[in-house]
Each structure stands twice: as C-alpha cells, then as structure tokens.
Structure 1
C-alpha cells in the first residue's frame, strides 16, 4: 500500500522524482500506512530495533535519579517533557522511580509525553494513563514557556533528511524515482536554497564521491523545542557525529540506512513502510542552534560516561544465585551492557545543554 502511495507521489511530481526527505517522510509518517504510525510493534524482540530504554529499567531509573538531583539540588522546576516518547516505556520507568523514592516531588510533578503516532499514544495511555502526573501532547507547540527538564531519546535520528553528494566536482541532490515498478535513485544538480544556506553557514566542504545528509527537519524541530525553553535543561540522547567526525573517510558514504527485523539494510529503498529508516545526527548543528536560542552546551558525553555520572551502578543488585537467567542476573547483565566498552551504549552520545542555570549549580551528584 505504501509503495503504491510513493509511486503516486513520484508520478504526480513535475519531474517524476521526490527528494529523500519526502520519501522518508512518507515511508515513516504517512497517515495510517507509514512505519511509525501503523499498527505494528517496532521496538523489542518482536520489532525491528532496540533502544536503551527498552533494555530493562536501569536506564530510565538512572535518568530519574538524575532528574531528582536537578530538581532538589539545582532548583529546576518539577516538570519533565519527553520528546518522541514512543510507547511510554521510558516514561513509566522514570515515573515509577520518582513515585517510589520522592513523594514530595511526585506530588508536584508534571510529565509531558510528546508523540505523534496514534499507535504509540494508545500504548502510552495503557501503560501510564493511571498516573495523574502524566500529560499527553502531539506536538512540541502544545507546551510553551517551559521551565524544567526537556529530553529526547533517539528522536532526531528518525526525522527525514535530504541527501546530497559531490559528483565529479559538483554538488548534486539524490532523489527517488520509479522505473519498471522499482524505486531507484537519481541525481540532479543541487539547487535547493535551504540546503545551500545550510552548507554555507557551516562551511561544509565535501570530498569527491562523498555522500552527506542535510537535516533541515532536525533543525526545524530542534528550534521549536529550544525556543520554548525559558529555563532548565535540554538533554539529547542519540547517535551521531561532530562536523569534524563527519569529514572522516569512514563516514563518506553517509549514514542513511534501514532496520528490518533487527538486520541493518544499506538500501533505504527496501521494504518501504515496513522498515525503520534512520541517520546519524549532526551534534554541532544542535549546539549552534542551541546557542542562538540562549542554550549553553555543558558537554557532549559518550552515553556510558553519562550513565556513570547519573549513578547507574547503584542499580546493580547483589545476589548469590547461580542461575544466569535469574531476574537479578539478567538485570545486572543489562546494566553492564550499557556501560562496558563495546556494549549497547557504544554508539550513543548525550548532549547536555542548559538555560538560565546558575554557574555554581552542580548538575551531577558528587
């Protein structure tokens, strides 16, 4: 059904092709048939990928412990906004931790889940609808003048991008067309003024044959979020590179790929509507956009470094059980997988930005 929808989009376009941005937007978000909005399990063993928040509850509890520190020690308002909250698993783990350990904060807490997918919003209601602290929103614009904690976990990597390439010394944009019933790439001279401005403002120079993703949608969504923050913390958890890293030869083929039944697909045109599409994000772009919106960058951490700072080791449980599949043993393995070299956290980073926070504020417990 989605493939038919894409072919109609292409055939009705003036040049019989669409940008990768439009292709991804349709493949992931087309009403009722896009990957993220259709009635299908996406995360976990029965889905196509895992997230840190779905590997046990230690990730969420570590975030919650840190959020409590920010509220109690740094004086940040007890309001948490999660952008791209998915099925609500991470929100549940955070809320349960605060409910169990901090009754005073719990009584004054507001937790906003921002999510566009009807499938995921239904799952959120079923999972945490019983908590009066939980509020549900479809767009970032539904909350304004924010004082508190705003965070996302693997949100920006799922936004559509334009794809460009340097081909024999000239910049081209890569489009998607259809031929003999098959989706194919086609390249045309780059003339999109927004892309040209993005490259110029960031002094991006590509090597010949280098492919590069332009995250215009990421910039748009980030600025909506950043402009709504009056004071507090903005936390971005995702995989991506700095501009210097993007220029390394290992990344010259770009990062657009798909995940289907836990297998990585280099061809982004396979399984449209039945495959997750993702790209590595541009952290320098988020830092620059944040600065324009009054946000100061504290640090760009490796995820395991950040989790150690938030006290994830406190989640390890002592046990004498010999069964390696016992609940405690499995939980401890999941935690170690988040912090050891080569583990689940290896590819993830955490960008911490603040606004109107006292210079003396200790953002991590000692």
Structure 2
C-alpha cells in the first residue's frame, strides 16, 4: 500500500503535504486506518480512550448534559462526532434514561461516524447515525461533543530553517518515504504561526491544524444555540514552541511509534492539538468560553466519585472492583485524565 502514497507523491511533483499523507493513511476509503474493519480501541486495539477505560465517563457527561437541559439552556438534543463503537454513547444513553426519563423520551441523539465498521456497531442504539457533519439539521441546537477527534485530523508541518518558515511534507527516495521541505507558498504557514502566537526557534517544527480550523468553521456555520464540548490532549503555544520535532507520532499495539512513516495505513497517527489556536478561533467566532480544564478536574466537579461502589467482595476481579479501579484511574492526577483538556464553549445562534 506504500505504492499508493508514492504514486500520489509522483503525481504531485515529488512532494505531498503531510496533511494529504495523514489523510490518506487514516481516511482512504478502502485502505485508511479508521476505515477498515479492525479493532482500534481498547486492549485488543492500538490505544485507549477514557471511554474505553470506564463506562462511567459517558454517565458523567449525561449528568452534565441533563443539568443544562433541565435548566432550560438547551433542548434535549445531543450529537457526538467520532462515536467509534459506542463506548461513550451507550452509557450516556443509559444514564440519561435512568435519571431523566421524560427528557429522554423527548430527546434526539446523533452520532457522526465516517467509518463503516464503527457505524455498523451503532445501529442497535437509539440514535441517528450520520456520516458527516453536513447531515446534521441546520441551526442545530443542543450539545455538540467529541472526544479525541481533533487530534486525528490532518495537519501540515512548518519548520524554521535559517530564519524562514518552510513546509515539511513527504517525498520518496528509492521506495522509502522521507520528510521533504519546500517553500512556504504565500506565507500561509508563517501567517498561522504569528496568529497562533508560536515562535519557532531554528530547526524546530510545529503542526498547522488546517482540518481542525476547518471543522471549527463548519461548526460556526452549522450550529445554532449550542454548547461545543471538546475533550482532547494538547498544548498551549508556549509549550508547543519548545517541541523541536513537533508532536506527530503513531500508535500500534499500544506502543508509541515516533516515525510516522513506519506503518502507513496500519497505525494511528495523532498530534497534540494547539489549544491556544482552538480557543482563539472560538473567540473570533464569538463563542463564550465556559470552561478550559483538565479532564481530571471535570470528573471531580461533575460527580464521577458518585459511581464508586462499596463492596465487601474480596475478589479483585469482580465487576465492582474493576469498576472502582477504572474510576480511580480517571480521577487520579497521575492518570490518563491529566493528559487531556475539556474545552466547553457556548455558541449563540
């Protein structure tokens, strides 16, 4: 399948932008990593998410959502983009139905999932499965939510070389994929770095989140009165400009792969989203910032501890014992949640 990438490089004059390379590897209709029918998440996959660690993540978010609905801030409408196999939305629905059956009966839930493999796993749930954001009703009002979505969207790469910003893309040398540099045409990458308040030292790289900014613009055009809730890992600009090689990496069998060309089409590719750019773009759209906090803090504030179970069962492998361990891992300031941020903004239609 590497030949498919090399063909694209040749057809583009010997240079393929990293965004195009990442898009091919992850989203090619036939060969893309997310488009094929293999397990991606959990112990049998390549990486974990908070939803795959504990079902109570979805339950906590349901409680937060219901408070907004019952306060009259939003209608009982929820959309998750990048739903995967439903590890988040299934417990979300269960908790919503359990504690607020009346609003549940009136509610509508959309799941946006581009992968046919994952979309098929959602068919048994009481949700509308969509393949793209364009299929959402216009002026959508409610909550638009995603978890670890933006970090899998294609990015360009910029590098400072001898005081000038150049684009780092993909080339081929004797059948091997390599990084290749070219001029920053029209200074688009330079303009982004200035706007995002990133100053790259000599030889340093940074990702340019063209797809992330494009999705935020789509949300601006598509949503009405809505909360936009994004959970993802990332850094602020002052941190990003200290990462000499940028933050692009792969994951396969739960092993971090620094070389993004190691297993094209067969591993996840990801990066740390630029939080400063996300927040700044939201402000330009007029979205009101409600929260920017570590996921650990979000869990503590929204009652994840309520799901801890008292048990006298000495069996460490009982369901209660395993559930409690998973919850404590999400609440720990040394666990996975501490690597993630929850960004909550309110958009007025």
> TM-score, with normalisation over the residues of structure 2?
0.96
Aligned mates of 2:29, 2:227 — CA distance in 1: 33
Aligned mates of 1:327, 1:52 — CA distance in 2: 18
* CA deviation map 1:307-359 (0-9, x unaligned): 111111111111011111111011000000001121121210101111349xx
Tell me what 2:81 maps to: 83
Aligned residue for 2:289, secondary structure, equals strand
1:268 to 260, 281, 291: 260
Cα RMSD of the aligned pairs, angstroms, is 1.5
Aligned mates of 2:90, 2:231 — CA distance in 1: 18
Aligned residue for 1:40, secondary structure, equals coil
Contact 2:196 2:276 in 1 (8 A): no
Aligned mates of 1:272, 1:202 — CA distance in 2: 30
Tell me what 1:7 maps to: 6
Tell me what 2:226 maps to: 232
Tell me what 2:144 maps to: 150
- Asked if residue 194 in structure 1 is aligned to residue 188 in structure 2, the reply is yes
- Runs of 4+ in structure 1 displaced over 3 angstroms? none
1:304 to 272, 278, 296: 296
Aligned residue for 1:125, secondary structure, equals coil
Cα distance, 1:252 vs. partner? 2.8
Tell me what 1:24 maps to: 22
Aligned mates of 1:222, 1:117 — CA distance in 2: 21
Cα distance, 1:74 vs. partner? 4.5
Contact 1:27 1:35 in 2 (8 A): yes
After TM superposition, the structure 1 = structure 2 runs for residues 73-222 of structure 1, keeping only pairs within 5 Å, are 73-126=71-124, 128=125, 131=126, 134-143=127-136, 144-222=138-216
Cα distance, 1:30 vs. partner? 0.6
Aligned residue for 2:33, secondary structure, equals coil
Cα distance, 1:139 vs. partner? 1.2
Tell me what 1:277 maps to: 269
Cα distance, 1:210 vs. partner? 1.1
- Corresponding pairs, count: 348
Contact 1:157 1:238 in 2 (8 A): yes
Aligned residue for 2:110, secondary structure, equals strand
Contact 2:165 2:190 in 1 (8 A): no
Contact 1:227 1:293 in 2 (8 A): no
Tell me what 2:44 maps to: 46
Contact 2:289 2:344 in 1 (8 A): yes
Closer/same/farther in 2, CA of residues 192 and 334 from structure 1, 3 Å limit = farther
For structure 1, the residue ranges without an aligned partner over 5 or more in a row are 358-366
* CA deviation map 1:21-80 (0-9, x unaligned): 110000000111010101111111111001101112111111111111111125311000
Aligned mates of 2:119, 2:98 — CA distance in 1: 25
Tell me what 1:58 maps to: 56
* CA deviation map 1:213-262 (0-9, x unaligned): 00011100111123322213111000001122223x3x232100000110
Contact 1:7 1:178 in 2 (8 A): yes
Tell me what 2:318 maps to: 326
For structure 2, the residue ranges without an aligned partner over 5 or more in a row are none
Aligned mates of 1:227, 1:237 — CA distance in 2: 21
Aligned residue for 1:39, secondary structure, equals coil
Contact 1:239 1:348 in 2 (8 A): yes
